[in-house]
Structure 1
Amino acid sequence: MNSTYKSVLTIAGSDSGGCAGIQADIKSISANGAFAASVITATTAQNTQGVFDIHPIPVPHIKKQLKAVLGDIVFGAVKIGMLHSSEVIEAVQETLKEYRIRNIVIDPVMVATSGDRLLNSAALNSLKSFLGDALLITPNLPEAELLIGKKIDSEKLGEAAKEIGNRFQTSVLLKGGHLEVSDQMTDTLFLYETQNTVFIYNNYIATKNTHGTGCTLSSAIAAQLSLGLTLEPAVRKGCSYLNEAIAHGKDRRLGKGHGPVHHFF
């Protein structure tokens, strides 16, 4: 008796160091029990210590990658990482609409670990227009502040997630990794359809091996959606998986900088 793979498409950049980007996405999707396909938007010269060069893939080739996989494979979810220009954002948005893709998870990568913005104003505006097509967006605190154009009070995360969700008409997982260190990590999930806010707690783990956590989390959630879970359980499982992956990778060493989580614990 034949069975069909539960598949996820990741659209993102490649990390030559293997900790983040497409490489982390594929590992996370696979570890969560789904099949991973990929469309690469850029290649990077990158390792555990930083990003040294970015080579954008030409937009026509990105479109050809999209049409090749979307015309052949049925995807239960699509995860989107950094889209570096307005042209790329618009091309991805148009093509996903053409194929009537649902269950889109957007990790709106806009701010580097250094704090530098990765998108110019035109690209940020294009990204904002895309967010309403998503089932879920997963900004961290600096990215959330860029989306609404103001500082977010750490005591009012629920209100901030709701404001973002209602402004862009999508559910929001506001990640807590940039909050002050405490015994617990708090991620805030605003469910747009029900207007409910859920707080997800996990133990804080002291480690520098956090390279690729955002990619890993959004991909894990997409994988759980492809396996048939509804949004809240998929987010809870994704958060739990990431926490375990951080815990199992906290004392491992790769390179001289910030290492990865342990995807296959």
Structure 2
Amino acid sequence: MSGTPREPADPGRTALVTGATGGLGRAVAATLAAAGYAVALQHRDSAAAADALRAQVVQTGARAAVLAADLAVADVDAAASRLLDEATAALDVPDVVVLAAGAQQLTAWDELDATGWDALYAHTLRHTAVLLRHAAARMRPERHPAILVVGSIEGYRAAPGHAAYAVYKAALHHLVGAAAAELGPRGVRVVGVAPGLIDRPGLAQDWPQGLARYSAAAALRRPVTPAEVAAAIAFLASPDASGISGVVLPVDAGWSCAPGW
């Protein structure tokens, strides 16, 4: 193996990553920075974690900016527009937007009232769709722009206690196709990824039964890592994936091909 450092794959491009302080968001930011992107890191209320991530990215030689924005607000149009203004002022108009913000909120079916549905809607589908529209309107076709939406394998198959989360992730998958059809003529690609169970420190201790069930079903007999999902996102965001739009790619260690019997 050569000891010569690899050149960045996408130098001079700018990316905005929402939910950048989450486990997946951090991996996406680091992967895009390594590929040569300047990275805008959106967080809601995790300033210390965002600053630490920025320092990590800058140490690699990439440019980065930390942007605080609450997108689960009533006037999400204004919040989305302001976030994009700040990203542009700090770095440039984003060529790539990775919509990774959104917490997994689990509620038992018998406790899932209108308030629960509304809360998850505000934290997933609503702000994702609105920010996607605002971002696409600013993108420059000659820069090979792409918008990446993070869905979930639960958008294909629900589990008890996960009803609202699964419904909204399924809606995000359909948003990918709908937005791609609308924006393709403008030169903007929209692609989704559907991660499976993502490994994290403490997962085996916190959810041993779930990890065991998932690993037994997945073809690779394990969960995926944040870096693996981030690598898929980086490829789909790149000009190398210029013919891919309107689809959602499962990144699940082969869980999707489990026979189910």
TM-score, normalising length: structure 2? 0.44
TM-score, normalising length: structure 1? 0.43
> Which structure has more helix as a fraction of its residues?
2
Q: Whose radius of gyration is greater, 1 or 2?
A: 2
